[in-house]
Amino acid sequence: MTGSAFEYKDGNTILEGYLAVDQANHKKRPGVLVFHEWMGVADHEKAACNDLAKAGYIALAGDIFGKGVRPTTMEQAAQNANHYRAGDRALMRQRAAAALAALRGHPLCEGNKIAAIGFCFGGTVALELARSGADIKGVVTFHGGLNTQSPAVAGTLKAKILALHGAEDPFVPGPEVAAFQEEMRKAKADWQFVQYSGAVHSFTNPGAGNQPEKGFAYNAVAARRSWQAMLSFFSEIFA
């Protein structure tokens, strides 16, 4: 298995993701897009790509921010993420679509078998890709933001949806969860919503530390359970 930086473009904008694939296997395989948290493509996303490659997939961590745009502080990260999250959702979708095209064009990717996952900010990105009507099999969001400016529409949404959520996440509160579930019902989506007891925001990321009172913390049990839920979901949608 090899993992390395992977450049592609959205128009004239250079994006730098991370691609992981078992090069010893020359057969095509399903592809998984991995969308990053608000710090950009980092160790957490790269580790997820590596694990997905070991599980038999080709995985690309898509870059929403652009090559070299990597926040170094929480304040920078919030400002950068909010440019897309609260402002330009159209550009968010465009960057996600660019990553999808890059993965689909890889010679080892089965172009008709692609899913997208995302962590925190990346969960929002993955959902926006699905809401856009992208031709992908499924989306998995880990502790992702669930709100949107352009809800999914019945007949447009092609992807099956699996939302994995911390039951105590203060950053994605009950009303946002309820609105998301109602959106999925109105869109006649094939969707699942799973909550993990005791888990707050960023529960899959070991780098989140252990301060649940601040609303974000790593939770090893929820991380393991959610990853297994994702693998089971993939087994179904790629069958």
We report the CATH number of the domain holding residue 40 as 3.40.50.1820
Q: What is the pTM of this model?
A: 0.97
Give the CA count within 13 Å in the CB-facing half-sphere of 165. 24
Residue 185 belongs to what domain range? 2-237
**Cα separations (Å) of 49 from 4, 68, 214?**
10, 20, 28
Give me the helix-helix angle, 89-104 and 121-131, nearest 10°.
80
The pLDDT value recorded for residue 154 is: 94
Output the tens digit of pLDDT for each of the chain's 239 residues: 779 999 999 999 999 999 999 989 999 999 999 999 999 999 999 999 999 999 999 999 999 999 999 999 989 999 999 999 888 999 999 999 999 999 999 999 999 999 999 999 999 999 999 999 999 999 999 999 999 999 999 999 999 999 999 999 999 999 999 999 999 999 999 999 999 999 999 999 999 999 999 999 999 999 999 999 999 999 999 99
The DSSP-derived string for 35-65 is E--TT-S-HHHHHHHHHHHHTT-EEEEE-SS
The pLDDT value recorded for residue 2 is: 78
CB neighbour list of residue 116: distance below 8 Å, 6 or more residues apart? 32, 33, 34, 35, 96, 100, 125, 126, 129, 130, 134, 136, 138, 139, 140, 159
The pLDDT value recorded for residue 87 is: 84
Within its chain, how far is the Cα of 195 from the centroid?
17
Pairing, β 2-10 against β 58-62: unpaired
Please report, to the nearest 10 degrees, the dihedral formed by the alpha carbons of residues 48, 50, 56, 57 taken in order: 60
Domain count, the chain: 1
Compute and round to an integer the Cα radius of gyration of the chain: 16
